[in-house]
Amino acid sequence: MSAAARPVEPPRRSFAPALKLALGLAISGLFLYALLSRAPLRQVGAAIDHANLGWIAASLVGVCLSYALKTQRWVLMLRSLGGAVGLRQALTPLMGSVALNNVLPFRAGDVVRVVAFRRYTGVQPSMQLGTVILERLLDIAALLAILLAVTGVWRVADLGEGVLTAMRLIAGAALVAMIGFILAPRPLRLIVRAAGSRLRLGGAGEALLRFSDALERLSSPALLLRLAAFSLLAWLAEGLAYIAVARGVGAPDPVGAGLLALGLGTLSTTIPSSPGYVGTFHYFAALALMRLGADPATATAFAILIHGILWLSTTLVGFLLMLLDRPRVAPAPAPAAAPDEGSAP
Q: What residues contact residue 209 under an 8 Å CB cut-off, 6+ apart?
A: 189, 192
Q: What residues contact residue 317 under an 8 Å CB cut-off, 6+ apart?
A: 95, 99
Q: Where are the alpha helices (DSSP H) in the chain?
A: 16-36, 41-49, 53-80, 87-103, 108-116, 118-121, 125-153, 161-183, 185-196, 203-218, 221-248, 254-267, 280-291, 296-324
Vertex 7: Cα angle to 3 and 9 (nearest 5):
115
**Residue 295 domain flag:** yes
For residues 132-159, average pLDDT = 86
Q: Say yes or no to pLDDT of 340 above 60.
A: no
pLDDT digits (tens, 9 = 90+) for 284-319: 999 999 989 899 999 999 999 999 999 999 999 999
Q: Say yes or no to pLDDT of 219 above 90.
A: yes
pLDDT digits (tens, 9 = 90+) for 16-25: 778 888 888 9
Vertex 319: Cα angle to 314 and 325 (nearest 5):
125
Q: Say yes or no to pLDDT of 154 above 80.
A: no
**Residue 132 domain flag:** yes
Give the three-class secondary structure for 250.
coil
Least confident range of 5-14, 190-199, 301-310: 5-14
Closest residue by Cα to residue 264 from 336, 163, 189 = 163
Cα 309 to the center of its chain, rounded Å: 16
* Mean per-residue pLDDT of the chain: 86
**Residue 333 domain flag:** no
Q: Say yes or no to pLDDT of 333 above 70.
A: no
Give the three-class secondary structure for 297.
helix
Q: Domains in the chain: how many in total?
A: 1
Q: What residues contact residue 167 under an 8 Å CB cut-off, 6+ apart?
A: 144, 147, 267
Give the model's confidence band at 10: pLDDT under 50 very low, under 70 low, under 90 confident, else very high.
low
Vertex 89: Cα angle to 236 and 316 (nearest 5):
60
**Residue 193 domain flag:** yes
Cα–Cα distance measured from residue 295 to residue 106, given in angstroms and rounded to the nearest whole number: 33
Predicted local distance difference test score (pLDDT) of residue 11:
57
Domain that holds residue 205: 23-324
**Residue 2 domain flag:** no
Q: Say yes or no to pLDDT of 345 above 90.
A: no
pLDDT digits (tens, 9 = 90+) for 225-271: 999 999 999 999 999 999 999 999 999 999 999 999 999 999 999 88
For residues 176-192, average pLDDT = 84
Give the model's confidence band at 328: pLDDT under 50 very low, under 70 low, under 90 confident, else very high.
very low
Is this prediction's pTM over 0.95? no
Report the largest interatomic distance among the alpha carbons of the chain, rounded to a whole angstrom: 95
Neighbouring CB atoms inside 10 A of 85's CB total 21
Give the model's confidence band at 341: pLDDT under 50 very low, under 70 low, under 90 confident, else very high.
very low
Least confident range of 88-102, 125-139, 199-213, 328-342: 328-342
Q: Say yes or no to pLDDT of 330 above 80.
A: no
Give the model's confidence band at 335: pLDDT under 50 very low, under 70 low, under 90 confident, else very high.
very low
